[in-house]
Amino acid sequence: MGAGIRILAAFLAALAAAAGVAAQLRQDYYAAVCPDLESIVRDAVSKKVQDQPVAVGATIRLFFHDCFVEGCDASVILVSTGNSTAEKDHPNNLSLAGDGFDTVIKAKAAVDAVPACTNQVSCADILALATRDVIALAGGPSYAVELGRLDGLVSLSTNVDGKLPPPSFDLDQLTTLFAANNLSQADMIALSAAHTVGFAHCSTFAERIQPASVDPTMNATYAADLQAACPAGVDPNIALQLDPVTPQAFDNQYFVNLVNGRGLFTSDQVLYSDARSQPTVVAWAQNATDFEQAFVDAMTRLGRVGVKTDPSQGNIRRDCAFLN
């Protein structure tokens, strides 16, 4: 009971803080200065995904890793300097694919190529729009994106510690971490479905497929397939698709996989194996429309996390990778 009360208290505190942020963001934030912003970004993102389909999962993951560390402020894109190690060089971020960063950089260049839009749109907002666009391009829902974020002025590797959920987390650990970011357990379950696209290195799930002790919540055939693809001593650069059924489609197959014991990470499969979250997983496995609405609502709330709108907290970066 004590843990439950603490989670609720953290969630309510974050909810109150987020209410002010939501009031400052708005969908038409750039209407006067860059009216064609969304189509410019969408075209650039579409070209990138056409060239590199892996940009879909890479961009979604980049947005999540950005928002959960110092808020949605594009601080994860900043590069390290001689005397300061940036977020992107933290061990937990080294696996962020370069195609996610490149998606934002190419979209920023396209926006700045329009004279009226040059240096008018934040990298944080471009990342939020690009994330929506890659999801839609992969067959997922399109949705309105709130805008008005400023780019952060700080990016420190040490700020990442304890902010991102490792693949070993259980339901309580996941719920607590998401509650600290004003996200409910239902939001967490919905956002976890981003694992319907993308890849994971063998090391992130190796503990679950040890021949002598395969995780009992994993489908035996799936475990055998993973063991064959990730044998002992496998090249650490080898990565497998998170969704073995529809790997390039953003859909509710993620939840169907969980029901069938085919969640890749412990933090995925626990959403079904824990009786408290299982009903939500089953419901969304059976109803894609309900899942998509929950996902859109959760993404909107994720996009409000730690947002900076005061000029003392941020600005609009001329180059997303460097401070002005």
Give the C-alpha distances (Å, rounded to integers) separating 59 from 36, 52, 117, 294: 22, 11, 22, 20
Whether residue 103 is annotated as binding a ligand: the answer is: no
Residue type, 112: D
* Residue 66 marked ligand-binding: yes
Name the one residue in this structure whose structure tokens are 């994720």.
302
Q: Which of 42, 61, 65, 149 is catalytic?
A: 65
Cα(113)–Cα(310) distance, integer angstroms: 26
Interior angle at CA 221, CA 218 and CA 227, nearest 5:
80
| CB 73, CB 149: distance < 8 Å | yes
Residue 214 in marked binding region: no
277 in a known ligand binding site: no
CA distance linking residue 50 with residue 16, whole number of Å? 41
User: Measuring CA to CA, which residue among 315, 321, 309 is closest to residue 86?
Assistant: 321
Q: Is 251 annotated as a binding residue?
A: yes
Amino acid 187 reads: D
Q: According to the annotation, is 221 in a ligand binding site? A: no
Spacing of C-alpha 34 from chain mean position: 26
172 is in an annotated binding site: no
Q: Is 233 exposed, middle or buried (0-12, 13-18, 19+ CB in 10 A)?
A: exposed
Does 215 carry a binding-site annotation? no
Tell me, yes or no, if 201 is annotated catalytic: no
Residue positions annotated with a catalytic role: 65
Please state the residue numbers annotated as binding site for Ca(2+).
66, 69, 71, 73, 75, 87, 196, 243, 246, 251
Please state the residue numbers annotated as binding site for substrate.
165
Please state the residue numbers annotated as binding site for heme b.
195
Please state the residue numbers annotated as binding site.
66, 69, 71, 73, 75, 87, 165, 195-196, 243, 246, 251
